[in-house]
Structure 1
């Protein structure tokens, strides 16, 4: 798959949103993260009573979250959401493959979830491994190869490690969004105003998510 540069993202983010549901879903993530980093979490829907309430009922998540598996980046906490609010897909490096796309298709098409949000973060081990180089196990190396294609080794080599890491974190986020937008089901729902695809980057030090559209 040919890797596009970050400028290609604009045509996706500028699509007119004809569904108020997509706007409300994104606003809920923004407000939830603000509560989180300000220490004003109010969501109390992470308990056995809520779990029992959801038992046997159809799920109706507000958003699909593709996030890194990093243990310091739990989407439900970062966005101050409770049980049943988010359809979360996680892997090392928040990269997109057929399994990820299958999960997104399922939630978008069958659960009518109005938002796909890709959550990247700083100090990502998968990104750092890509910048550092060196030997890795077979399947971890596949992740590294996927990530480095978002910008290219030649570009990475032009910067020091700190700059290259930040650049690659951002490029990998954009590439994941582009990869999702190449999916036919996603394209059709976006065109109908039923789905929005966007993302942001979480700062481990501050707790803040920088949203691409801010």
Structure 2
């Protein structure tokens, strides 16, 4: 029997850092709602799960990376909502660190599953290196010593996407999509 892959779920921001804020709603709370739905779902699909935070608390970027270094997950999965000065900016994005890395296939599986689950959503992708994930020098992606992906679930600054992110069923739907993507990724381990 294969070992259960360990996923470190990182609900971005929290505590004194609300992340993006729009119309009185914080990114940190949405990220946490999704994380709290995603963890049990993954566990039921034979993943082991750990969190960088499970409550509304402040956790520094360095601490998030240290947690990852301490538990050595198979994948670090950071959950976020985006924001932009233009209220028209929209879309779902998945980021990895620059270059071809072990993170790319996990990110592609996540994107494929999100696209299947949300066919009417906009996806902001970058195929310049032959895969759909975008690349960035985000601290939690470049400093973790494991595969790592960061999912931007939508723009809080966009009225339509904010309304969708705040629906009661959305965290469950996103969690189902992420779980499906991680199951596809798990088959390759």
Q: Under TM normalisation by the shorter chain, which class is it?
A: 0.3 to 0.5
Highest CA radius of gyration, 1 or 2?
Answer: 1
TM-score (norm 1): 0.34
Higher helix share: 1
TM-score (norm 2): 0.38
Higher strand share: 2
